[in-house]
Structure 1
């Protein structure tokens, strides 16, 4: 990954998207503060259609483009937030795009219900992963139970997974995989937001 390359991170948006699970990710990738290479990353939203979607928090989001048109070679990562539509056919386009990304060696990050959708599609059968709880995935009849980890966020090759109660850990894993920050900055960010230690703030101010 060239440090001079302009990279686009794609966020899937759909009705009932769980706002709080990706807010930390989107804000910190988009604003460029403390980035290892300022201006390197940009965020875009993708959806099954181009009409506005309504998040779980009631915000309306107008997608930038259709997920069907998204090519792995034009993306640095696909992020799949939690939602209430993951067990339905409405979520099929996002699962198939995740499969396409993983087959192409481009990272996918899924949290909460999105991990359930990937489990149902067999995408967690051969990768270490986590989710809301082991029982949550076991109830879906998937075959990856032996690879489940009782951790806030797990990275295995090109797949990042996390549970609904771990938005900061999810963000940290994404930042690490994309090399958004140098390690000391990433550690300070987690100290502030994950450990809720004010020392992280002062470390960032001096970065």
Structure 2
């Protein structure tokens, strides 16, 4: 992959717990294959004003939304938050359409999936969200029920979706889609974090030593 920049959308009320796994692994590249460098993670927003997450963390965006183009991006990351159905996010939804059309992976979790459903984007992809009944209730225009998957996270082509309690699964799907880890490394990393069983720490270290 030529481009090494990951752009994450940041906005007031964004959910702190939904993006930590994926950004940490993409930025450090600590479990990547030996010949793959880490990514640069940059934030963007509707303005350059400081945003405040749901946990009270203050973030100064790196870029305006208008500055983000597919040619500069390896992955577009959309965390959840409490305001995704607000029309103010419309410019971001348009970017999602452009990026998907250009073949750039887009990863959306929790509230972001609801916004994609409201925009009709999920109608064309296998996907998941927090709950199908809730999704239909808050998005009357949603027509993608036949493509809904009752899984923690789903990848279909360049779109990755996850429920709000599945940040680890989101990260797993992103790392798999970008093909930056060996299968053994990724499996061990996921099971270590999911099961908290030390055997997977040793399997993870062994997979890296083997250069897999």
TM over 0.5: yes
2:28 to 28, 31, 54: 31
Mapped partners of 1:181, 1:6: distance in 2: 17
Q: Is 1:89 aligned to 2:87, yes or no?
A: yes
Mapped partners of 1:130, 1:81: distance in 2:
14
Does 1:161 find its partner at 2:158? Answer: no
Moved more, 147-156 or 85-94: 85-94
* Secondary structure class of the residue paired with 2:149: coil
- Richer in helix (by share): 2
Structure 2 spans left out of the alignment, 5+ residues: none
Unaligned runs of 5+ in 1: none
Partners of 2:102 and 2:68 lie apart in 1 by 13
Report the TM-score when normalising by structure 2: 0.92
**Is the contact between residue 188 and residue 204 of structure 1 (CA under 8 Å) also seen in structure 2?**
yes
1:165 deviates by: 0.9
1:169 aligned counterpart, secondary structure: helix
1-side partners of 2:56 and 2:157: how far apart?
34
CA 38–103 in structure 1, closer or farther in 2 if over 3 Å, else same = closer
Of 7, 24, 27, the residue aligned with 1:10 is: 7
Which 4+ stretches in 1 moved above 3 angstroms? none
State the shift of 1:172 in Å.
Answer: 0.1
| C-alpha contact 2:45 2:61 (8 A) present in aligned 1 | yes
Work out the number of aligned pairs and report it.
204
Aligned residue number for residue 66 of structure 1: 64
Could you tell me which residue of structure 2 aligns to residue 196 of structure 1? 196
| Superposition CA RMSD, Å | 1.2
Match of 1:113 in 2: 111
